[in-house]
Copies of this chain bind each other. A is one copy, B any other.
Amino acid sequence: MGLYFEEFTTALRVVTRGRTVGEGDITLFSGLSGDFNPLHVDAEYCATTPFQERIAHGPLTLAMAIGLMSQQNLIDATTMGLLDLNWSFAGPVRIGDTVHAVVTCTETRPTRKPDRGIVTLRLDVVNQRGEQVQTGHLKLLMKRRHQDVSDA
């Protein structure tokens, strides 16, 4: 199970495992999202761009980074929902690149309801050459383990 609100502190720093992004992932994501932008599905078009080759959809890498974080058992079954997402895309993820995420907690904030709190996690997504390809923040509603009665 994931961590409860009280267990998140700004000392938290977790390096996830890695994941190699394959051509099939990009194809599948094109179909799932319905986003067939030629940057992702047309190798001939891509040869005319600065990328030279097909690149992963930004939101695919974003989704994989959240998945890698999820596999660290930080939030599963203790989150009540994702509130907010802010994400910057710094560089391309190419077919065959391997990404991982560095997860840190940048803020914890109690709410009026005593059984929950808001946690902001920062994810730095890094490729196999150490290049930071994405940076993002997730604002999550997390369960508290011990209900804060004074807060009620």
B37 touches A18 (CB 8 A): no
Query: Which of B17, B67, B88 has a CB less than 8 Å from the CB of A76?
Result: B17
Do A76 and B20 touch (CB < 8 A)?
A: no
- Residues of B near A27 (CB, < 8 A) are 22, 24-25, 28
Q: How many residues of A contact B (CB 8 A)?
A: 60
Is chain A's binding surface mostly helix, strand, loop or mixed?
mixed
Contact with B along A12-34 (1 / 0, CB 8 A): 00000111101111011111111
A18-B44, A36-B19 known; A59-B70 Cβ under 8 A? no
Are the C-beta atoms of B79 and A89 separated by less than 8 Å?
Answer: no
CB of A118 closer than 8 Å to a CB of B = no
Does chain B have a CB within 8 A of A58? yes
Q: Which residues of B contact A10 (CB under 8 A)?
A: none
Q: Does A98 make an interface contact (CB < 8 A)?
A: yes
The digit string for A56-74, where 1 denotes a CB below 8 A from any CB of B, is: 0111101110111011110
| Chain A residues near B (Cβ < 8 Å) | 17-20, 22-25, 27-39, 41-45, 49, 54, 57-60, 62-64, 66-68, 70-73, 75-77, 79-89, 92, 96, 98, 128
